[in-house]
A = this chain, B = another copy of it.
C-alpha cells in the first residue's frame, strides 16, 4: 500500500470515511471469509460487513441466482410494485421464517437500509399509540438518520445531528450496573410513578445483543421482563434485529432465545444475503395502520436483493443446521476467549452465537490487537464506548480451519500486547 494508490480517496472522498483509515489498503475481490487487496494480499474476515455478510462474501449459491436474474433481465428497480421476485421472497419468508415460529407479522419494505427500517418502526409506534417518546438503552446503536440517531447512545455520533435530539430517554441496559441493581428498578418505577417526569413512551427499542455498544448481551430473563413490562403498560416493544437477526446469534431472530414476540422487528444487513441493500420492518398485523404511501423510498424494491434474500432463506433456513453450527462455533470462540482471559491480565469475554467480544480493561490494547491482527491478515473490529472490545463477527458459514487460523492470529496479537498472569513483575 503506497500513498499514491490512495490519493483519490484522500483528495476527493470526505473525511467522514473511517474503515479505510483502520485498514489502509485498497480491496479488490472477495470470496467466503476472505478479501484480497489489489496487491494480492489476502485477509481473513472476522468482521463480515459489520454483520451484513452472514453467508460470506459472494456466496456461490446466491451468486448463481443473482447472475441468472440479471442475465434474464429480471426487474432490477421496482419501488413497491408487485414483482415475481418479491412474491417469491414473501412466500419464502412466510414459509421458512414466520410460519415455523408461529409469527404473523406483516412485512414492510421501508427502504433498503437498517436506519430506514428503524425510522419506519418508530413512526409506526408513534402513530399507533399517539405518543411521542421512545425509551432506548445505554450504548444502543440504531442508525444515523435523525429518528434513529435520537435513540442511539454514542455521543460523538449524536453530536453530528446539529440539533438537540429529544423525544427519547435512555435507560440502563441489562447488567449496566454489573448485577448490583435489580432489573428495571428505575424504568419500571418511573413508569409507575405519575410524578416521575418521564413522558409515557410509545415504544421501547432494544437490541438483544448490542454489537456496536461493545457486545453487551441481554439475558433472556431480562428480555422477558422487558417484554412483560411493555405489555403491562401498553408500550410497544421494538427489537432492532438489524445486526443480530438472520442467525447471527444462532436462531433466525435473536429474540427467540427469550421466547418473546416483539410488536415490531427490524431486519437489514444480512437479510439480503449477498451484501446487497435490503431492509424489512415487521409488525403485528393489528398495527398495520399505515396509509398507502405514507412511508416510502426509491429503493425499497431492490429486486436483486429480493432474489438473493429468497435463496438465502431457502438454502440456509429450511432446517436447523446453520443455527446448530453457529452455536457450536460460538462456543468454540468462547472457549478460546476464556483461555485468553485465564492466561492474560485485564481480559473478559461476552457474546452469543457468532458475535463474540473480548474486552480489555485497558482500552488501548484492543486497538493494538486489532491493528496487529490486520498486519497479520485478519480483519477484526473494536467496539464499545471506548473501543475497548475486540468484536468477532465472522461469516456464519466460515470453515473450521478458517476460524482456527483467525483465532490463532488473534491469540498471537493478544499475547504480544497483554501481560501474562504468570509474568514476572
Write out the residue numbers on chain B whose beta carbons fall within 8 Å of the beta carbon of A90.
Answer: 8-9, 12-13
Write out the residue numbers on chain B whose beta carbons fall within 8 Å of the beta carbon of A5.
Answer: 87
Query: Could you say which of B63, B113, B197, B292 contacts A116, with CB atoms under 8 Å apart?
Result: B113
Q: Is the CB of B112 within 8 A of A19?
A: no
| CB-defined A-B contacts under 8 Å, sample of 20 | A5-B87, A8-B90, A9-B86, A13-B109, A16-B80, A18-B292, A21-B292, A52-B298, A67-B71, A112-B112, A114-B297, A114-B298, A115-B297, A132-B162, A132-B163, A138-B190, A139-B195, A151-B197, A153-B196, A170-B190
Give the interface centre of A25, A198, A293, A384 by most chain B CB atoms within 10 Å.
Answer: A293
A102 CB-CB contact with B under 8 Å: no
A291 CB-CB contact with B under 8 Å: yes
Interface string of A111-155 (1 = CB under 8 A from B): 111111001101111110010110011111001111110111111
Write out the residue numbers on chain B whose beta carbons fall within 8 Å of the beta carbon of A177.
Answer: 185, 189
Q: Is the CB of B156 within 8 A of A28?
A: no
Q: CA–CA, A109 to B146, complex, Å?
A: 17
Q: CA–CA, A178 to B165, complex, Å?
A: 32
Which one of A271-279, A321-329, A337-345 is at the B interface? A271-279
Stoichiometry, copies per complex: 4
CB distance from A336 to the nearest CB of B (A): 26
CB distance from A247 to the nearest CB of B (A): 17
Q: List 5 A-B pairs, minimum CB-CB distance, nearest first.
A: A126-B162, A77-B275, A195-B385, A166-B166, A170-B197
Q: Is the CB of B277 within 8 A of A302?
A: yes
Write out the residue numbers on chain B whose beta carbons fall within 8 Å of the beta carbon of A113.
Answer: 111-113, 116, 277, 297-299
CB distance from A169 to the nearest CB of B (A): 6
Given that A12-B107, A276-B304, A299-B112 are known contacts, is A119 also in contact with B146, CB under 8 Å in the complex?
Answer: yes
Q: Is the CB of B296 within 8 A of A18?
A: yes
Q: CA–CA, A289 to B14, complex, Å?
A: 9
Write out the residue numbers on chain B whose beta carbons fall within 8 Å of the beta carbon of A8.
Answer: 87, 90-91, 94
A194 CB-CB contact with B under 8 Å: yes
A351 CB-CB contact with B under 8 Å: no
Query: Could you say which of B9, B75, B163, B293 contacts A82, with CB atoms under 8 Å apart?
Result: B9
CB distance from A254 to the nearest CB of B (A): 17
Q: Is the CB of B384 within 8 A of A195?
A: yes
